[in-house]
Amino acid sequence: MVQPETPLPVVVWVTSGRGKSFAADGHAVAWTTSQVRVRYLDPGGREGFAWVWASAGARRFTY
C-alpha cells in the first residue's frame, strides 16, 4: 500500500450508505494496485473517507 506524504487531489464517484451516488472532490490518501482510499466532502459539506475502485475516479489537476 502506498501512502503519499502529500495527498493527491482527485474527483471520485462515491456511493453513500443510503445508496445515493455522487461525484466528489477529494484527496487520495492511500492506494493499492486496484483501490484508492479517498478523503472527500459529500454534497452536504461533511468529510468522509472511503475505499473505492481505482477506476471510480481520476486525478484532479490544479493550475
Question: Domain residue spans in the chain?
Answer: 8-54
Dist CA 32 CA 10 (whole Å): 15
pLDDT category at 62 given cuts 50, 70, 90 is low
**pLDDT for the residue 57:** 81
Span 10-54, pLDDT tens digits: 999 988 777 889 999 999 999 999 999 999 998 889 999 999 988
Dihedral sign from CA coordinates of 12, 50, 45, 62: negative
Task: State if pTM tops 0.85.
Answer: no
